[in-house]
Amino acid sequence: MLEGVVQRAIATRSTEIGPSEGERLAESVVARAKLVAPILDGAQVLWVDDKPSWNVLERRALRSMGIFVDLARNTDEAIALLLEEQVPINSGRHFRLRLPFFRGSNTAEPSKTAGRPYDAIISNIKRTEPGRDETAGLYILGWLKETRPDLCGKAIFYISEYMIERNSILLPIDAFAITKQPDSLLHAVMDLLERGRSMRMDVQQRYDPHISGGAPQALARVGSADACRR
């Protein structure tokens, strides 16, 4: 299931990648996901995008890996979810729990663990919001630094060809990664989870997203996800 979803995502978003190369990249994602499955299972990701229909396959891939994905359509919705997760478990307020996740199921999803912060935040950059310019997706970085320093360095930006044409591929300060390709996105999430979770796996072969699809500019990242740059 996961391999097929990743292949479809690559074919949809990365038109310059042929079927055989897309299959190879998808196989790489699946192989690594199997190796680090204990780290992925139960991880929690917040996805912020004003056009969620454009990344349905990528979110489905994350869920197939055992990762819970919460969706916000703008920065204000994302901030509301980030503030909500700080509420103590015994406060009487509860998260929206999902059905238990069973691998191979087309309907069940990973469940969100109440009281546990998101392990990663995925966002686009180009979106217009009231009081913000067309790169409103970047606003979350400043908010995290001021209000949720525990999540500093955990933002991954998933951008479009438009941003690359505007020469905006450079990694924003305090972000973990930026990419345009689905396979690189999934590898970036796994990179972040491997660094950020207490569990460490002995992965003998690491895939390097910098050479994904023969496009070195597809992903840039910082050296550490532990804290924001000062």
Q: Count structural domains, the chain.
A: 1
- Tell me the C-alpha distance between 205 and 27, whole Å: 13
pLDDT in tens, 69-111: 999 999 999 999 999 875 433 333 333 333 333 344 443 556 6
In a domain, 94, yes or no: yes
Position 160 scores a pLDDT of 79
In a domain, 228, yes or no: no
CB atoms within 10 A of CB 20: 8
**pTM here?**
0.78
CA proximity to 196, closest of 125, 120, 100: 120
- Tell me the C-alpha distance between 50 and 127, whole Å: 7
Q: Answer yes or no: is pLDDT of 39 > 60.
A: yes
Query: What is the domain-level CATH number for residue 133?
Result: 3.40.50.2300
In a domain, 90, yes or no: yes
In a domain, 230, yes or no: no
- Tell me the C-alpha distance between 153 and 113, whole Å: 21
Query: By residue range, what is the domain housing residue 114?
Result: 2-221
- Tell me the C-alpha distance between 226 and 22, whole Å: 32
In a domain, 229, yes or no: no
Q: Which helix (H) or strand (E) holds 40?
A: helix 37-40
Q: Is 226 helix (H, G, I), strand (E, B) or coil?
A: coil
